[in-house]
Amino acid sequence: MATRRFTAPADFPEPAALDEFYGALAEADVQPLWAQQGLMPRTPPLRDVPALWKWKRLRALAERSGELVPIDRGGDRRVLAFANPGGGGLPYATSTLWGAVQYLGPGELAPAHHHTPGALRFVLEGSGVWTLVDSDPVAMNPGDLVLTPSWRWHEHHNPGTGPMLWFDGLDIPMVRAVDAVFFEDGPDRMTNRAVDTVSRAELRYAGAPGLLPLDDEPPAPHSPLLAYRRAETDRALTRLLAARGGPHAALRFADPTSGADVMPTLRCAMHRLLPGLRTPTTRRTGSSIWVAYSGAATAVVDGHRFDLEPGDVLAVPSWAPFDLAATEPTDLFSVSDAPVLEAMRLARTETLPAHQELR
Ligand code: GTQ
Ligand code: FE2
């Protein structure tokens, strides 16, 4: 059997020589691999923790922010970001995803800006609001998914009489990690006015499934369809559930021209679960945020049990065992970093042989 050969350093180097050597390393801005802790753990350690934000509490805080804080503070948005308790104080729901609840009061306008992080909105409460994406007015209503992809100008208008609250999902931690955040305020501010037209994006790309304009535009790096309507999602879930014979259907929101994810960094999905099933316990690389839309369900994440009611938001860390069970018919929205993990060829999924035990 071949023996591994090493050039032999002194068995017992002089402590003073070692100290001097480590000093010289630090001086030279280099660090030895042999002094690193946890650089390559055997499996991803849970950095973030599984965490739940209850809608009841969130809603009250968001409403209070509407009373106390004008919209022109910090980023021109009234946004409460989910801060993962394991995230060292950063305002991130997970290590790769920004999640937040945004509150836009009646008569308010969140003025135009653009940034390289891509954003999506999943509407939870209110009506009559529209987001202008570049020059396209996109209406917002509960259960709708609205996209404001990277570097597209966007401003939110509420000409109505009640507030709107929605979930924001962005790729901010990923774009920050690669030092590619750019931001600009809009050139001028539009006046608040109601728009009752259908967005140009929907006129072109949401006519009917599988029917695309023949005079297609050059492909954008994101879905050209900027809104996915609740009625359509609901109908598609009903049909998929029928096709599968229940009790779990999941739909991925896709670019109608390519089938790709809605944005290069973010995967969005909608799940419907019927009572009587606990999904297999799986874990995946990459993290996700889950937003309950309707019904009642229980999630187990890394042995911790969470009850999901409408509006509740759950953070699922990378490689955390995760399963779901509904106590009544339940719809859940999810956003994840899966396109990035897949592009990096780092996507892994494992289904555990048995359901996890509660801690
Ligand atoms: O609505 O434009 O939650 O720019 C974070 C940054 C929302 C927005 C957020 C943003 C927005
Ligand atoms: Fe924004």
SS3 of 224, please?
coil
Domains defined for the chain, CATH in brackets: 51-207+222-351 (2.60.120.10)
In ligand 1, which atom is closest to the CA atom of 148? 2
CA–CA dist 143, 166 (Å, integer): 9
Q: What is the DSSP string of 189-220?
A: PPPP----SPPHHHHHH-SBTTB--SSPPPPP
Strands 282-284 and 349-351: antiparallel
pLDDT 10s digits, 264-321: 999 999 999 999 989 999 999 999 999 999 999 999 999 999 999 999 999 999 999 9
Q: In what order do the strands lie in the sheet with 136-140?
A: 136-140, 129-133, 154-157, 109-115, 183-185
Nearest to 325 by CA among 354, 348, 295: 295
- Cα(168) to centroid of ligand 1, in Å? 7
- Cα(189) to centroid of ligand 2, in Å? 14
Return the pLDDT at 192.
46
User: Within 6 Å (CB) of ligand 1, which residues are found?
Assistant: 75, 77, 79, 100, 102, 115, 119, 154, 168, 170
pLDDT 10s digits, 197-246: 899 999 999 999 999 999 878 889 999 999 999 999 999 999 999 999 98
Mutate to test the pocket of ligand 1, among 165, 170, 172, 174 (most ligand atoms within 8 A of CB): 170
In ligand 1, which atom is closest to the CA atom of 79? 3
- Cα(172) to centroid of ligand 1, in Å? 10
CA–CA dist 201, 212 (Å, integer): 11
**Residue 116: exposure state from Cβ atoms within 10 A (0-12, 13-18, ≥19):** middle
Quick check: 233 and 198 in contact, CB under 8 A?
A: no
pLDDT 10s digits, 155-174: 999 999 999 999 999 999 99
Q: How many residues does the chain have?
A: 359
- Cα(200) to centroid of ligand 1, in Å? 22
- Cα(71) to centroid of ligand 1, in Å? 12
